[in-house]
Amino acid sequence: MRGAGFFDIPSDLQTSYLGLIGLHVEEALIPVAIGLAIALPLGQLCVRFSWLYAPVLWVTTVLYAIPSLAFFIFLIDYTGATRTTVMIPLTVYSLVLLVPSIVDGVRSVPQETMSAATAMGFGPVQRYLKVQLPIAVPAIVAGLRVAVASSISLVSIGALIGNQGALGNLLQDAILYHRSNLAMNSVVTTAVLAVLMDIALVLLRMALTPWMPRGGRAARRAARTAAVEPTARPALEDTTV
Amino acid sequence: MIQIESVTKRYPDGTTAVDDLSLEIPDGSITVLVGPSGCGKTTTLRMINRMVEPTSGRILLDGSDITGQPVNALRRSMGYVIQNAGLFQHRTIVDNIATVPRMLGWDRRRARDRARELMARVGLDEALARRYPYQLSGGQQQRVGVARALAADPPVLLMDEPFSAVDPIVRKSLQGELLRIQQELGKTIVFVTHDIDEAIRIGDMIAVMRTGGRLAQFAPPTELLSSPADAFVEDFLGTDRGIRRLSFFSSDGLELSKGPLVAVDADAEQVARSAAAGAPYLLLTDAEGKPLGWVAAQDAAGGADKVAVGRLLPFGRPFAAGRESLRDALDCAVLSPTGWAVAVDGEGKAVGVVSQETIGAAIRSAHARHEGAGGTDRDDFTKAGAAT
């Protein structure tokens, strides 16, 4: 195999270069998607019952502190050396990143906006779906960006439990077959993948939030004044009243 | 009519926000709840659309208890305007305004047409329709807030310190706009503010509340100014309530003297005729009849055409005769270096001048008239100058 090309994947991985990429994306994104599906209702519960937020944060943070390898070894007894074993910890990790961003995002909706929605006859569900969630999108996407990037990098560790690491498997093969270009391939492809995913998420956020000030410095300043002006003024006023 | 019947709101921690409040809010007029912070005015407002439920007592809307119908239907029948507008930042201006109509099941097109119609009504440029809230100034956002509250044409409008977060100039124009809209629409408006000047300017009836959620006085503004119920109300009104009350007296009946008006090209003989009336000063007017400035009678004896226009005494701010109040007239007289106020018509042409003494006499007779009428006869009062 010595001297084989950059994109020549050893046959023991039983897939092509593109196949590895597909596998990697799948193993990285499914956990984030499941994490999001759990984090959205969990985050909403934490907003409604604020006493819940501290313990939820505590539990998820403790779980985050468990090294992924320890997680895998623990899970192998139940789910075997499979992709599921890799994806369960990744799901838990993404929860830690997503719950706070959802809670912060939903909490960032101004009190006036919530009052206005209530006064216009929005029920709690409508208020959540039509007001809080859309306004929380930037914060949620910010959380997603971190979760996706970390997930993409962590998938590679799955290589340690029997070639379940997608692009990470190339690292082991690089050692096995003394092919440093495989290691290079793994690292570069993973990095490029992470960057592309990040760009996709930024584009997604821009598509979902045409209402956000963007572009030049002027737009940002406009947004800042719009946000600051109303709160800054009353203080000024109190002296005149 | 909204009837608030012995309503009390007590929170679990023991604080009483509203204490045994009874109020009858008349239809088609602006009722202002005013008081220092912590007086329960916002709580009272929020009980009307059930964003806060009273601990005891009840609230009737057109005779039926507001707890008798679904809460969201009740809320949609009342427009709500809030400080900082509380716009949906993720929706365009037109969609913000169309919110309630859409919830009531209007199709998108009809709701948006309605929204555009309301934008015009509150004085917003059509070009702003597709913009997002962050692209608007605070004053514009507040107009959107008003338009949004009016969208489904609710009979009742609840306004919670809607103009207190904008600067004084914008606030004044928004108040004027509200009065204009109210003249066209005749809604039942409940308006909360901590600003007594705002209350007096826009209120048909004013409920002054004191800390602890008790009603101190419920009266039309002019009665509030002339006879505050107690020391608290008097203190809250401030020291110049006598002057402020004058804004409710029209300058209509003010006796204007035309004698001292002299055209800028008048000769010595014409000036002598004007001066014969005994006024110490003459007001020179230009070819169109607009005021130029004052000149002492003896200085113009040689003919107005001989007087250097640049050396005339300034006439200050003129007042619009009949349309502005006695307060405006008095203000003009006080500002004028001669002590005489200049009255102008709608085109800015001088229609006469009036001395402080004459204004003083008019004030005394206006007082006498209104005391005689019991001080509560609303028909006698004009909101002169309020809409300008």
Question: Which of B265, B272, B260 has its CA nearest to residue B338?
Answer: B260
Span A162-191, average pLDDT: 85
Q: What is the percent of chain A with per-residue pLDDT over 70, rounded to a whole number?
A: 88
Q: Which residue has the tokens 């009483």?
A: B16
- A228 in contact with B at a CB cutoff of 8 Å? no
In this prediction, residue B4 carries a pLDDT of 96
All structural domains of chain A with their residue ranges: 11-210, 216-241
Substitution target from B81, B90, B91 for chain A, most A beta carbons within 10 A? B90
Interface pTM, i.e. ipTM: 0.76
Contact at CB, A119 and B164, closer than 8 angstroms: no
Question: Which of B335, B283, B338 has its CA nearest to residue B307?
Answer: B283
Q: Read off the pLDDT of residues B86-98 as tens digits, 9 standing for 90 and up.
A: 999 999 999 999 9
Substitution target from A114, A120, A137, A240 for chain B, most B beta carbons within 10 A? A120
Q: Residue B373: which pLDDT band, with cuts at 50, 70 and 90?
A: low
Span A187-199, average pLDDT: 94
Report how far residue B260's alpha carbon sits from residue B278's, in angstroms, rounded to the nearest whole number: 9
Work out whether the CA dihedral A155, A157, A159, A164 comes out positive or negative. Answer: negative
In this prediction, residue A220 carries a pLDDT of 52
- In CATH terms, B2-248 corresponds, of 3.60.40.10, 3.10.129.10, 3.40.50.300, 3.30.479.30, to 3.40.50.300
- B98 in contact with A at a CB cutoff of 8 Å? no
- B73 in contact with A at a CB cutoff of 8 Å? yes
- In CATH terms, A11-210 corresponds, of 2.40.110.20, 3.40.50.10860, 1.10.3720.10, 3.40.640.10, to 1.10.3720.10
Q: Which of B100, B133, B168 sits opposite A120 (nearest CB)?
A: B100
What DSSP state is assigned to residue A49?
S
Sheet holding B281-285, edge to edge: B261-263, B281-285, B291-296
Q: Read off the pLDDT of residues A137-174 as tens digits, 9 standing for 90 and up.
A: 999 999 999 999 999 999 888 888 877 888 888 888 88
Highest mean pLDDT among A107-111, B52-56, B166-170, B301-305: B52-56
- B136 in contact with A at a CB cutoff of 8 Å? yes
Contact at CB, B51 and A223, closer than 8 angstroms: no
Angstroms from A180 CA to nearest CA on chain B: 50
Question: Which of A193, A190, A194, A192 has its CA nearest to residue A158?
Answer: A190
* A39: helix, strand or coil: helix
- B128 in contact with A at a CB cutoff of 8 Å? no
- A216 in contact with B at a CB cutoff of 8 Å? no
Q: In this structure, are residues B100 and B114 in contact, taking their beta carbons and an 8 Å threshold?
A: no
Strands (E), B78-195: 78-82, 156-160, 188-193
Secondary element (H or E) of residue B200 = helix B196-202
* B10: helix, strand or coil: strand
Helix axes A17-48, A133-155, angle to 10 degrees: 140
Q: Which residue has the tokens 């028909």?
A: B379
With beta carbons under 8 A apart, name residues in chain A contacting B82: 112, 115-116, 119
Angle value at C-alpha A219, between A214 and A220, nearest 5 degrees? 80
Q: What is the percent of chain B with per-residue pLDDT over 70, rounded to a whole number?
A: 96
Enumerate residues 6+ apart whose C-beta is below 8 A from B37.
B194
Angstroms from B76 CA to nearest CA on chain A: 5
Q: Which fold has domain B261-364?
A: CBS-domain (3.10.580)
All structural domains of chain B with their residue ranges: 2-248, 261-364
Contact at CB, B72 and A123, closer than 8 angstroms: yes
In this prediction, residue B188 carries a pLDDT of 96
